[in-house]
Structures are given as C-alpha cells and as structure tokens.
Amino acid sequence: MILFVHGWGYDAHFWDPLRDALGDVPSAALDLGYFGAAMTALPRKLTLLVGHSLGFLWLVRQSALRHVPLVGISAFPRFLEAEDYRPAVAARVLERMRRRVVTDTRGVLEDFWTRAGAAGPSGVPNAAALAEGLDHLAAWDERGNLAARASPTRLIAGREDAIVPPVMTEMAFKGSEMTWLPGGHALPHTHAAEIARLIRP
C-alpha cells in the first residue's frame, strides 16, 4: 500500500488526482488536520511513502517508517535557511505568515494557494492547526533523520516551484537523484499522470 501525506495548507483530498491516476493501486492518505480532524494513524503493510512538502518532513520524522521506501515531491529536509543551509526560505517569511494566519486565515491560505499553483479545500480552516504547521516548518530539521533512513529516497521537483525554488532543492539534495517536471509546487495536482507513472509499483 502507498501512503500519502499532504503539505501545509491542504488536506487528504490534495492527493485525489494522483490516486485517481494510479487506478486500482492500493493507497491511503493521512490528514494533518488543517481543515478538520487529523487522521494520522499509520496503516500496516506499507510498500511506499509519498510526502509533499511538509508532508515529506512529517514522514521522515517517523522512525518506525525508516525501512519503507520514500518519495518526496516538492520536498526539503529543512525549510528555513541556516548558516550551513543556504539558499533557503528566510525566517521572516514564516514569521509574517504566522502573525496573519490567526486573524486572516483565509487570506493567508489564498496567497499560499496562488503561489503553490493549486486551490485548497473549501471547508473551514483550523487556524490553530495551520499556525502549528508553520511552527513545524520553522523548527523541523530532518537532515539527520533523512541520512539515517534504511531505505531509498526518490525526489520529484518542479522547475517553476515558487515555494521551494529549484536552487533550494538542488542545494538541499545535492548529489541525490532528482526527477524534474515542468511545473510548480502542487505537482500532484498539475502533473498527476506523470507522477503516477514514476511511482507506480
């Protein structure tokens, strides 16, 4: 079974186009709770993990899944820049979003979805969960856990990604095998058929 985990600002339905493209391939999608109840119980007998953006970080943090092959889409092992991690996203970007997300939740999401290249859920957003997700993006550094994984990691990225620019991807995964697609941050929506061919068992 393939396990999908979405990124910040989306929910489990983010994966619907890709799951449809995979047809009868067994899969499940977790939900981090940005638009309703979180559903993060791990299924058994997983054969592949697929994480998008923050969802990739979430999966890398799960030590119990280190033996399962992993695909990262629009991924990164750390989001914010550091002395030994440049070029990456400046802390002020997340700080600005963090200040606004509680008082103008929909506005922050609309801005993000426009830059990502795919609209998000129409349901009621959970401002507290979204704020916590931004905190995770600010704090999580999974470079060590990624290096410690006992199974292969494959990477898929977009040449026009406005959230995780190609120069950041190339820096973060220097020396790793990378499949580049002509798209932006929301590749599972915009390039579902291509990704399905890449990850199909």
pLDDT along the chain (201 residues), means of 10: 98 97 96 95 94 98 94 98 96 96 96 96 95 98 94 94 97 92 96 96 82
- State the residue range of the domain holding 103: 2-199
Q: Give the model's pLDDT for residue 201.
A: 82
Q: Give the model's pLDDT for residue 150.
A: 85
How far apart, in Å, are the Cα atoms of 9 and each of 50, 100, 108, 179? 17, 14, 9, 24
Q: Give the model's pLDDT for residue 33.
A: 97
- How many independent structural domains does the chain possess? 1
Q: Give the model's pLDDT for residue 75.
A: 98
Distance CA 67, CA 82 (A): 29
Pairing of strands 178-181, 48-52: unpaired
Distance CA 121, CA 14 (A): 8
Distance CA 146, CA 56 (A): 10
Pairing of strands 153-158, 178-181: parallel
Token pair of 197, please? 């061919």
CATH number at residue 60: 3.40.50.1820
Residue 91, φ and ψ in degrees, nearest 5: -60, -35
Q: Give the model's pLDDT for residue 152.
A: 86
How far apart, in Å, are the Cα atoms of 95 and each of 33, 99, 137? 21, 6, 11
User: What is the tens place of the pLDDT at every residue in 60-91?
Assistant: 999 999 999 999 999 999 999 999 999 999 99
